[in-house]
Amino acid sequence: MKLCIHVIERTSTPTCQSDEVLHTIAIRMPSFRFRRGHRIAPGADLHGVDLSNTDLAGAKLSNANFEFANLRNVDFSYADLRFANFQGADLREANLWRADLRGAVFVDTLLGKAILTEADTTDANFAGADLSGARLPE
C-alpha cells in the first residue's frame, strides 16, 4: 500500500513522504509524538494503518480516512478530526478528549473504554459503534 502523507509544521512547506516513513515510525517507535500543530495533510488516506499507541494530540487530521485502521490507545486529545472517516476502525482506549469530531463517521467502530469527554460530536455518526465503557460527552 502506497500513500502520500504530508507531515508539516505550521511554518514549513509541505513535502511528500512515503507511507513507510510514518508507518515505520509509528510501529518501531511507539513513543513517536506529533508536536501540537503538526498535521497530516487534510484528506490523507490512512486506511488500515497501525498507529496504535501513537500520540497524535493536537494533530490536524480533518477529512482523513482511517477506515479499518488500528488506532487503539491513540492520543487524539485536542485533535482536529472534522469529517474524518473511522468506519470499522479500532479506537478502543483512545483518548479523544476535547477533540473536534464534527461530522466524523464512526460507523461500526470499536470505541470501548475510549475517552470522548468534552469532544465536539456535532453531526458525528456513531451507527453500530461499540461504545462499551466509553466516557461520553454530556
Tens digits of per-residue pLDDT, 76-94? 999 999 999 999 999 999 9
Give yes or no for residue 36 having a pLDDT over 90: no
- Looking at the DSSP assignment, which residues form a beta bridge with residue 39? 8, 60
What is this structure's pTM?
A: 0.74
Amino acid at 7: V
| CATH code 3.90.550.10 for 1-125 | no
What is the residue type of 46?
A: L
Which sequence spans correspond to the domains of the chain?
A: 1-125
Lowest mean per-residue pLDDT among 20-29, 51-60, 62-71: 20-29
- pLDDT (0 to 100) of residue 41: 66
Q: How far is CA 19 from CA 36, 40, 65, in A?
A: 21, 11, 14
User: What percentage of the chain reaches a pLDDT higher than 90?
Assistant: 56
C-alpha cell at 91: 479506537
When mean pLDDT is compared across 14-23, 69-78, 89-98, 123-132, the lowest value belongs to: 14-23
Chain mean position to CA 65 = 9
